[in-house]
Amino acid sequence: MLLLTAFLVAGACSDESRTSVATPQQATTEATSQAANLTPEELGELGAKIEKQPGDAEKILSEKGLNEESFEQAIRKVAEDPAASKRYAESYKKAKA
């Protein structure tokens, strides 16, 4: 009986570890949703910061829960809206100065 309980506990623990590992697709989905939560102003500041420190781009994006792909998607979405695009550009210029 004790041996059976040990196997069940070990099996349950191994199942938990398998389900808690994020796949690249899950990470991209999470990063995309993070990007959707950023305002055009925040994206503009990020863009300017990346331009100033291109070698740290990955680190800068990851601090906001983003990756290159999700950041690009967010920028494209902003570009579709003239008002949001203007807000992005103004924020970018301020942060770049």
Residue 22: burial class (beta carbons within 10 Å; 0-12, 13-18, 19+): exposed
Residue 44: burial class (beta carbons within 10 Å; 0-12, 13-18, 19+): buried
pTM of the complete model beyond 0.75: no
Largest CA distance in the chain: 71
Which residue ranges make up each domain of the chain?
25-96
Residues in the chain: 97
Show pLDDT as tens, one digit a residue, over the chain (97 residues). Answer: 443 344 444 444 444 444 455 565 554 445 445 556 899 999 999 999 999 999 999 999 999 999 999 999 999 999 999 999 999 999 999 998 8
How far apart CA 44 and CA 51 sit, in angstroms, is: 11
